[in-house]
Amino acid sequence: MSIMNQNKLAETITQPVFVLYGIPYLPSYVDKHRWVGPGRPRDRTEFTTTQLIASGARLTTANLWERSWTKEVKGWRIL
């Protein structure tokens, strides 16, 4: 019997997500206040929190794997 249950889903929690022109920008796992768009690392668009807010991005939430730094982003927990 395997020690690891490979059928168990990874746990997700509510995390902030920005949407700009219909494109979701998810919080980076590594870089604080860095939001990544869809695509491969060399092709995707990345923004800082300040850039997204200044561009008029809408803040929403999604169930994602935890990023520890997102607790520093103010206001999203009330969504």
52: helix, coil or strand?
helix
Domain encompassing residue 30: 13-74
Per the domain annotation, does 37 fall within a domain?
Answer: yes
Residue 1: band (very low, low, confident or very high) from pLDDT cuts 50, 70, 90: very low
Q: Is the pTM of this model over 0.85?
A: no
Per the domain annotation, does 49 fall within a domain?
Answer: yes
Residues contacting 23, CB < 8 A, separation 6+: 37, 38, 45
Q: Is the pLDDT of residue 78 over 80?
A: no
30: helix, coil or strand?
coil
- For position 73, what pLDDT does the model report? 76
Q: What total of structural domains would you count in the chain?
A: 1
